[in-house]
Amino acid sequence: MLGYNIVQLLFAQTAGTQRVYPRQYLSAALETIVLTIFVTFAFTWIVWAPDQIWDHPAFITLGAFNFCFGWDFTGGNYIGLFMNSFIVYFLWRYTILVNMRIKVQQNPNWIDRFAVRWNNVHAMSGSVFLLIFLVGPVSKYDSPTPLPHGMEKLPSWFWHTVCFFFFVIASWVSFVATYFESKLGSIRTVKWYHTYYVIALSIANLFMMAVYIIQYFMFDSKAHPFVNGFPNTENCPPLHSVLFAATEHCSYLSGQWVIVANWVWLITFSAAPYFTPREPPLTESYQIGEVEDDEEPLTGIQMQ
């Protein structure tokens, strides 16, 4: 069930000694972004302001909607920032635990070490990911002072997209690294269905990135100039649908390519927690000690 790992890690912890599965934190991070996409898109479309989705500045470039349109503007972005902030905790906690595991693991190989090091990049991407709520998708904002250092405009849609795809790519590589750690590393718990899933996840990510890169770089901005930061959609009005694109489009490819890429990625990404290879647990123990004035504080997590 979507959100199971989130609830268990946040509210079902027990005192004393317990078994900890680091990859449960990875699954919780993946569940968080999927759940946030569903909540913010539904909120913006049904409750807040559906025009924020269908009149989004990037709609004309892509030729169709994007799930992130639900959290790009006021209303949905408040919910999106709050919910996605949990990703930072889950990913850094996951990184700390796997770093601890490799320190006590016997004879880790280079695959184990690469997977652990990449987890640091993945955790960093979760922190960078939150910048999408500050950067773009439009470059004009009210400000009491002129832009500093000779800047003509604020970072906008391009850097907004870079922050998002940094997280998407890091998540994909992290999951693939976890797969190889379980197949060729020291854990060896991969089943046949894990292999097929990693292939499907890789195809979904590469397909989505290829479609978005084509739509962005091949878009003819001179033929379809923006007015006050927003596109003129008179010749290609958006179709208000999450399944079908308009027959007339100003984007390079039909928006139907984008819609297919969106759904394939989301469905595949949503399944990640159910296809995470098993791992041996860590034993974690917490105790309250005596307060001593001259005692040096311990650094890190004390684990058994």
Among 53-57, 164-168, 219-223, which range has the highest average pLDDT? Answer: 164-168
Is 297 within a domain? Answer: no
With CA atoms as reference, report the closest residue to 301 among 101, 112, 9: 101
Domain that holds residue 137: 43-282
Cis peptide before 281 (omega within 30 of 0): no
Res 141: pLDDT:
59
Q: How far apart are CA 59 and CA 123, in angstroms?
A: 30
Is 18 within a domain? Answer: no
133 with 68: CB under 8 angstroms? no
Write out pLDDT tens, residues 182-202.
999 888 899 999 999 999 999
7 with 35: CB under 8 angstroms? no
Res 208: pLDDT:
96
With CA atoms as reference, report the closest residue to 41 among 83, 98, 90, 87: 83
Q: At what angle do helices 157-184 and 110-129 cross, to 10 degrees?
A: 160
Q: How far apart are CA 137 and CA 161, in angstroms?
A: 8
Q: How far apart are CA 223 and CA 81, in angstroms?
A: 35
Largest Cα span, the chain:
75
Domain count, the chain: 1
Q: How far apart are CA 183 and CA 194, in angstroms?
A: 10
90 with 271: CB under 8 angstroms? no
190 with 182: CB under 8 angstroms? yes
Is 20 within a domain? Answer: no
Is 24 within a domain? Answer: no
Report the 10 Å Cβ neighbour count for 235: 11
Is 302 within a domain? Answer: no
Question: Does the reported pTM lie above 0.85?
Answer: yes
Q: Which two tokens stand for residue 177?
A: 């690294």
**Which range, of 9-18, 83-92, 129-138, 224-233, averages the lowest pLDDT?**
224-233
Mean per-residue pLDDT over the chain, rounded: 86
Is 227 within a domain? Answer: yes
Is 259 within a domain? Answer: yes
Res 294: pLDDT:
67
Q: Which two tokens stand for residue 165?
A: 């795809």
36 with 68: CB under 8 angstroms? no
Residues 77-105, mean pLDDT to the nearest whole number = 93
